[in-house]
Amino acid sequence: MPSCNVCGERVDLPYDCKGCSGTYCSEHRLPENHDCAGLADWGDPDGVFDSGFDDGVEDDTGLTGRLDLGVGGGRTGLRGYVRGNMTFVFLGLMAVTFMFQQVILRLLPAFVGGERALELHQALFVLSPANPEYVWTWVTSIFAHDPTGLFHLLGNGIVVYFFGQSVERYVGSKEFSALFLGAGVAAGLAQVAVQAFYVGDPTTGGVLGASGAALAVLGTMTVFNPNARVMLLVPPVPVPLWLITGGYAVVSIAFLGGGGGQFGLGGIAHAAHLVGLLVGLTYGQLVKDRVSMPRQLQLGGGRRGGPGGPGPGGGRGPF
């Protein structure tokens, strides 16, 4: 039997909010009663329930109106699919970027040579202390991962998938996107700063991956619900979320203090991890008073989770 995300009451006939994909009882079914994140996306929280009819609106029955590309911000079309599904957009970008990396490093050398292909990969995706002026890598490095295997990509993808949907539901897609990208950039810049100044070798190294962004999401969710139980795979035991977050912080601080700031254990960017966590924890503290905290956390979205249609959690997609 489903439970209300606000009060935890178990209800036979729950109300699924189309604005945030949450599940609520009759008392908290209205958007204003559960501080619905979807209100902010309308741009007019006070007029959500108005008809919005305007005699001055231009006729949209033409080709653009019929196609409904969502360019104007409607709840259908392209923007309608993206709204509420930014977690899956970011996961998709991570996968597409990884495939593009494989093309450059595995196929392109046959045409331009291995060294030129590696240089192109570095210039496009690696945020390095040697070239911090390559500002596009501030963002592309978030979605690129270690091209030699899937472990790095899958590890970050798991964190983003299970925690990203919950955070996005409670803060809205716009703030979630700003948190993800902002934390990713800050974490990457912090890592290359450590490599350039703390380690003392600005000519080598670099940073790849969504670890900083993913851990910012984890940190935010920890503030929202620190006692949420997370089932570890090895060993298969449930542990509180705050313990996982604290473990990341302790390991990152320990290796930074021990001189592992450049590569650390297994090539891990500990400075990026620590900064990502700090950004997430700080953001969570700033917004927790205006976000309806669920008493029970359903990781990875909910019954409506996954992409597949306009609006938040528009379908039961394959993820």
User: Tens of pLDDT along 169-210?
Assistant: 889 999 999 999 999 999 999 988 888 776 555 556 788 999
Domains annotated on the chain, with CATH: 1-46 (4.10.1110.10), 86-290 (1.20.1540.10)
Q: Is the dihedral of CA 97, 230, 12, 17 positive or negative?
A: negative
The pLDDT tens digits of the residues spanning 50-71 come to 434 444 444 444 444 443 444 4
Taking a C-beta distance cutoff of 8 angstroms, is the pair 15, 4 a contact? no
What tokens were used for 236?
């298969």
Length of the chain: 319
- How far apart CA 41 and CA 24 sit, in angstroms, is 20
- How far apart CA 289 and CA 219 sit, in angstroms, is 16
Residue type at 278 in one-letter notation: L
pLDDT of residue 134 exceeding 60: yes
Q: Which of 139, 137, 142, 108 is nearest to 122 (CA)?
A: 137
Taking a C-beta distance cutoff of 8 angstroms, is the pair 185, 138 a contact? yes
- Say whether 201 sits in a helix, a strand or coil: coil
- Return the higher-pLDDT residue of 284 and 78: 284
What tokens were used for 181?
């990208």
- How far apart CA 96 and CA 100 sit, in angstroms, is 6
Q: What is the DSSP string of 61-87?
A: -SHHHHHT-STT--SSHHHHHHTT-HH
Q: Which pLDDT does position 67 carry in this prediction?
A: 39
Q: Which pLDDT does position 317 carry in this prediction?
A: 29
User: Buried b / exposed e across 22-43, counting CB within 10 Å, b at 16+?
Assistant: bbbbeebbebeebbbbbbebbe
